[in-house]
Every structure is written in C-alpha cells, then in structure tokens.
Amino acid sequence: MIAALILFFGALLVVAAKWGINTPGDRAVVTRKSVPLAGNLTLSATIVAKSEVLVNATFSGSANISQPGYVWTIWISNSIIGSETSLPEGLKLVEGTLRTNGSYPVPGNFLDFHAKLQAIKDGEWVIYGRFSATKEPGFYMGYSTNGIKIFVSKGSILGLKRQ
C-alpha cells in the first residue's frame, strides 16, 4: 500500500513538473518603453481566470510634455502602426476600457487604465501599449511598448510572454 502511494505521488510530481515545463509563458508579464523627452509607458498583463487576463497601461510623463496644452492618449492595440484601438480577433473586452486620454494638468503626471480581456478563440494573440502626445498647432509624438503575447488553447489562457 505504501509503495503504491509513493508511486502515485511520484507520478503526480512528474506530471506537475511536465506541465510547468510545457507552459508557454508566465502568469504575469510587464513591458516598458522609456523615451527621455516624453516619459515612460508601461503595459502589464496578469492571468486572473481560466480565460481572462487583466491588462494595465500607464504613462508617466516627463517635464517636457507635462506643460499646459498637451493632450496625452494611451491605448491598447494589436498593432504598432496607426492610432486605432483594437484587439486581436481572439480576445474581447469584458470590463474596463482600451483607451483613455487627459490634458494637463494630469494628476501626478500620469495616466492609466485597466481592462479585463477574455479569450474567445484559440491562438497566439499579441497586444501593444500605445502612447501619443499632441499639442496645437500640429505637434504629435507617439510610441509603443513591446508586445505581450497571450497563448490560448481549448478556451484557456496557458501563459503570457513578452514579445
């Protein structure tokens, strides 16, 4: 009986280790982009349920663009090109927002938002944090973080990986 229990728990340990090794990513990932003249853009994602991930985007501005007249915008996109707020086809917004903006004075010189995304299709889906600052007349500055890849299989989020 004891030998059977040892064999059972040994097999369970091997299976658990195998699952950990085969996981394609982490449960939480953070990516940042720093531009000295503008500030810091951070995108983070954390798996919070079987098919849901919580995403946070934060921009912290430098003194150069924290003056009156600047409008900051941060958003999530499936691309680093353009100004569209969009998700990959395998994800949908279930709570929060994918875009926000503010003008000076932004409290504490930062702007942020939270979004809960749900996996609706299997695949590997990438999201990016995006930032822009505009000021009249005609000033525009924009950049993005590296991507965060979300691995989905059989309706479950298996892991996250910095792109």
The residues, ordered by sequence, that sit 6+ positions from 23 with a Cβ below 8 Å of its Cβ are 158, 159
37-46 pLDDT per residue, tens? 889 999 999 9
Question: If pLDDT is split at 50, 70 and 90, which confidence band does 107 have?
Answer: low
The answer to whether residue 9 scores a pLDDT higher than 70 is no
Instruction: Out of 20-34, 51-65, 105-119, 126-140, pick the least confident.
Output: 20-34
Question: If pLDDT is split at 50, 70 and 90, which confidence band does 160 have?
Answer: very high
Q: What is the mean pLDDT of the chain?
A: 85
Structural fold of domain 27-162 = Immunoglobulin-like (2.60.40)
Q: Once rounded to an integer, what is the mean pLDDT over residues 20-27?
A: 65
Predicted structure pTM score:
0.82
Q: Once rounded to an integer, what is the mean pLDDT over residues 111-133?
A: 96
The candidate with the shortest Cα–Cα distance to 121, out of 156, 92, 149, 90, is: 90
Residue 58 has, within 13 A of its CA and on its CB side, a CA count of: 12
40-94 pLDDT per residue, tens? 999 999 999 999 999 999 999 887 787 788 889 999 999 999 889 999 999 999 9
The candidate with the shortest Cα–Cα distance to 162, out of 1, 10, 43, is: 43
Residue 60 corresponds to which tokens in the numbers above?
Answer: 């912290």
Q: Best-predicted range by mean pLDDT among 17-21, 37-41, 111-115?
A: 111-115
